[in-house]
Amino acid sequence: MLDDLSKRQVPRLVAGAGDRREEAMAALEQLLLRALLEDLSNPPTRGLQPRRRRRTARPVLLVPLPHGEASQAAEVARVERFLSAFCEMRKSAHAPGPLVIAIGQPSDALLDQIGPLREVTLGAAGYLLHEPDSEPGFGYPVLVPISDESFSLPGLPIRRVEPKTFRLDWRTVNALITVKAILLLALASTLPPWRGEPHDCVRWP
């Protein structure tokens, strides 16, 4: 898929500016974003793949929104394109996926692309992070206005979290699984073949 997309879109990037170049850039960015979401998804625990279960926390992506007159239009477009694509792809991505926190003043164009946002307080946004994946509205973006007064109010109670640790390195676990498999195969090869119970109508050679 990546090779086919590269053959179509990379020549458009090299050709120069224009609508075709912007289209190619958007296509490649969406492909990279999809790969990022798949890589940051919470992998299932599997005994034969101990390395995949080492991620124990939800990834967090901080995205600053460009602001001010010095910000170039191309930079603003890149950031807004990423946020818009993320909101669209999260619908088909594995839950819960990464948490994206965009910091800054969103433009009207970005708000129109990602749809109407529910405006909540900073405290309510914190409680939304603890909702189960099955709750209605889980994962939908929200708008959190922040003022100087927000930082003077009491904060959220943060529960103590004990990070999950592993006693053995994933390479050691792989080696133990391999040794066990070899021992089981060696033991199975020493067992006599089982032919079932003898019958009068059947004679074994």
Give the residue numbers spanning the domain of 22. Answer: 1-40
pLDDT of residue 70: 56
Number of domains in the chain: 2
pLDDT of residue 67: 75
Preceding omega of 205 cis (within 30 degrees of 0): no
130 within some domain: yes
Same domain, 22 and 104: no
Same domain, 112 and 153: yes
Same domain, 120 and 153: yes
Please state the pTM of the whole predicted model.
Answer: 0.58
* Residue 205 predicted with pLDDT over 70: no
Q: What is the pLDDT of residues 101-132, one digit of tens each?
A: 888 888 888 888 887 788 888 778 877 777 65
Burial classification of residue 178, based on how many CB atoms lie within 10 Å of its CB (0-12 exposed, 13-18 middle, 19 or more buried): exposed
> In whole angstroms, what is the distance from residue 56 CA to residue 62 CA?
19
74 and 81 Cβ atoms separated by less than 8 Å: no
Same domain, 61 and 36: no
Same domain, 66 and 130: yes
Same domain, 25 and 70: no
Q: Which residues contact 174 (CB under 8 A, 6 or more apart)?
A: 50, 51
72 within some domain: yes
* Biggest alpha carbon–alpha carbon distance for the chain: 97
pLDDT of residue 98: 78
Same domain, 7 and 99: no
- Residues 48-75 as b/e (b if ≥16 CB within 10 A, e otherwise) read eebeebeeeeebeeeeebbeeeeeeeee
Within 133-198, strands assigned E span 142-143
Same domain, 7 and 76: no
Amino acid at 105: Q
